[in-house]
Structure 1
Amino acid sequence: MVKSMTGFGRAGKQSENFKVTVELKAVNHRYLEVLFRMPRVFAYLESKLKKSVAEQIKRGRIECAITIEGNKATKEKLVVNWDLADEYIRFMRQATERYQMTEPLNIQELLLDPRFLEIVEGNEPDSELENLLLGATTAASKRLDEMRAVEGNELALHLKHHLDMISKYLQEIQAFVPEMETTYRERLESRLLGYVGEDFDKALVLSEIAILLEKSDINEELERMGSHVKQFSHILLLEEPIGRKLDFLIQEMNREINTIGSKASHLEITNRVVELKTTLEKMREQIQNVE
């Protein structure tokens, strides 16, 4: 089954206290890469969230943006730098005695200074929020996968159309092969006659012509191209990621077409080779977006 590597999935989960929204954006990538934008306190959940995404998505670069609304995701706590506060109090008392200061020590100054006292988030997130986050990520991954499948169906239609065109060009080339061989043989015989005249060993010349014709034979390449087309059609039906397989197969097909083009000295065949290379390039570009 053909699936695109681009798409978007969004899902939300809500409880009495929280509302979680997860947005997944997917683009092409050689492997599966999942990047998160979420509160730092949930960093420990990344492995679980990646596993949830990987159950649906096998390849692509996934950007995951998480939004949390509602009560505080974590409990806040008061952090006091007691060592620094003790130093401050000790200094103030010494300064009061040394300089005979009459003003009392102002504790409020300590409370206003973040160097002494700070409110920070705790290290233990709310378990209710964790469940909402995991559920929303799973739902968003499924919606992303559904969108990639829809786009993949469109890609499959284009690829099948290109395969039909390739099969058509191959049939046309095959039809020109006898004409190419006859023209090539006549051209070689004419040149030999021009060089040596009628006085030559015809058996030897015919043997040399046969060798040259064998070197220009493209039937084997045409057979392999036909086999590649069938294999390509079969891969499109597989229920697994197929992008890399198709990419490799396109390289093999392109190699066969290049060989046909270098061997065949026939205008119509050369024209079909150009069309084949153009079609293969279109397929190669589309395959870059197949999972």
Structure 2
Amino acid sequence: MIQSMTGYGKSVVTFNEKKINVEIKSLNSKALDLSTRIAPLYREKEMEMRQMISKALVRGKVDFSIWIEKDASLDATPINSALVENYYHQIKDIAAKTGMPEPQDWFSILVRMPDVMSKTEAEVLTDEEWAVARGGVEQALQALVEFRKQEGAALYNKFSEKLDNIGSLLASIEPYEKSRVEKIRSRIVEGLKSIPEIEYDKNRLEQELIYYIEKLDINEEKQRLANHLKYFRETMNDGIGQGKKLGFIAQEMGREINTTGSKSNQAEMQNIVVKMKDELEQIKEQVLNVL
């Protein structure tokens, strides 16, 4: 069954004291348009994550984010006590040698000294942490795919309803089509009778009427439109990745409906054509969301 390109997925996984958040959103697009916001620790795995996303989602405008939340108490910058002690003794020695007074507020002076409050260790992404983070990406992708399936089912029902409506409208043309031929013939004959001074060949008139009526015949358009309706339904059941194909079929349906309208010189038939166009327009709007 078809899937929508609209979707949302989120997951939260934990590793030690870290909470790893993954969020993915997608909207319709002609191709895969992926933008990412990745925590610095995981940037070395960006290409791998992009491959995972492109394989799972195929198409759409996708926003992907992965970030880390830590316990604030565990993430506080440590004070380098050995360095503080070293600065303390240096300042006391300088004060003793020069006769300068020692600071009254030692703490405020010492914490502003270079490297006292700076982190020196660099975080390294371990295989164990990446396995957890990768699992979070997979969970978010799966949640988004499930969302797309649900949206796709809703689109399937919407399309089926619109196709049924077009089929019913197409069938409702037939009574008017049959009466139309006789009305055309009668109108032309009556028009000629109203001009008594004109003589005409009845056999030639009959031939011209047949030719004229054949030009207004819409049986081929009706048959092709019926085939397109059937093909649209079959394509919806072919699985994912049918969005562009469904768009092409909808365009062909529009051509047949337009031709039917141009050949319909009867108000009732033209009203039916307008209703078919309205139903088709709703299909065209929604088919842009199909994967």
TM-score (norm 1): 0.79
Alignment-derived partner of residue 208 in structure 1: 208
Residue 205 of structure 1 and its aligned partner are, at CA, apart by 1.3
Alignment-derived partner of residue 137 in structure 1: 137
Partner letter of residue 139 of structure 1? Answer: Q
Partner letter of residue 245 of structure 2? Answer: K
Matches within 5 A, 1:241-256: 241-256=241-256
Partner letter of residue 7 of structure 1? Answer: G
Looking at structure 2, the residues matched to 23 and 49 of structure 1 have their Cα atoms a distance apart, in angstroms, of 13
Alignment-derived partner of residue 287 in structure 2: 287
Contact 1:18/1:129 (<8 A) preserved: no
Looking at structure 1, the residues matched to 61 and 263 of structure 2 have their Cα atoms a distance apart, in angstroms, of 42
How many residues are aligned here? Answer: 257
Residue 247 of structure 1 and its aligned partner are, at CA, apart by 1.0
Residue 259 of structure 1 and its aligned partner are, at CA, apart by 0.6
Residue 123 of structure 1 and its aligned partner are, at CA, apart by 8.9
Alignment-derived partner of residue 172 in structure 2: 172
1:84-121 CA-partner distances (Å, limit 9, x unpaired): xxxxxxxxxxxxxxxxxxx9xxxx9xx749xxxx9688
Alignment-derived partner of residue 61 in structure 1: 61
Looking at structure 1, the residues matched to 42 and 173 of structure 2 have their Cα atoms a distance apart, in angstroms, of 61
Residue 15 of structure 1 and its aligned partner are, at CA, apart by 2.3
Looking at structure 2, the residues matched to 122 and 7 of structure 1 have their Cα atoms a distance apart, in angstroms, of 36
Contact 1:174/1:222 (<8 A) preserved: no
Contact 1:37/1:64 (<8 A) preserved: yes
TM-score (norm 2): 0.79
- The change in CA–CA distance for 1:198 and 1:20 in structure 2 (over 3 A counts) is same
Residue 194 of structure 1 and its aligned partner are, at CA, apart by 3.7
Looking at structure 2, the residues matched to 229 and 200 of structure 1 have their Cα atoms a distance apart, in angstroms, of 45
Looking at structure 2, the residues matched to 188 and 120 of structure 1 have their Cα atoms a distance apart, in angstroms, of 98
Looking at structure 2, the residues matched to 55 and 193 of structure 1 have their Cα atoms a distance apart, in angstroms, of 74
Contiguous gaps of at least 5 residues in structure 2: 72-99, 101-109
Looking at structure 2, the residues matched to 50 and 284 of structure 1 have their Cα atoms a distance apart, in angstroms, of 31
Looking at structure 1, the residues matched to 16 and 161 of structure 2 have their Cα atoms a distance apart, in angstroms, of 52
Q: Percent identity?
A: 31
SS at match of 2:62: strand
Residue 195 of structure 1 and its aligned partner are, at CA, apart by 4.8
Contact 2:27/2:61 (<8 A) preserved: yes
- Aligned-CA RMSD value: 2.8
- The change in CA–CA distance for 1:288 and 1:197 in structure 2 (over 3 A counts) is farther
User: In proportion to residue count, which structure has more strand?
Assistant: 1
1:65-90 CA-partner distances (Å, limit 9, x unpaired): 1121349xxxxxxxxxxxxxxxxxxx
Partner letter of residue 181 of structure 1? Answer: V
Partner letter of residue 221 of structure 1? Answer: E
Alignment-derived partner of residue 156 in structure 1: 156
Alignment-derived partner of residue 273 in structure 2: 273
Partner letter of residue 228 of structure 1? Answer: H
SS at match of 1:55: helix
Residue 64 of structure 1 and its aligned partner are, at CA, apart by 0.8
Alignment-derived partner of residue 84 in structure 1: none
- The change in CA–CA distance for 1:215 and 1:190 in structure 2 (over 3 A counts) is same
1:231-264 CA-partner distances (Å, limit 9, x unpaired): 0110111122111111111111111111111111
Alignment-derived partner of residue 74 in structure 1: none
Looking at structure 2, the residues matched to 164 and 142 of structure 1 have their Cα atoms a distance apart, in angstroms, of 33
SS at match of 1:125: coil
SS at match of 1:56: helix
- The change in CA–CA distance for 1:55 and 1:174 in structure 2 (over 3 A counts) is same
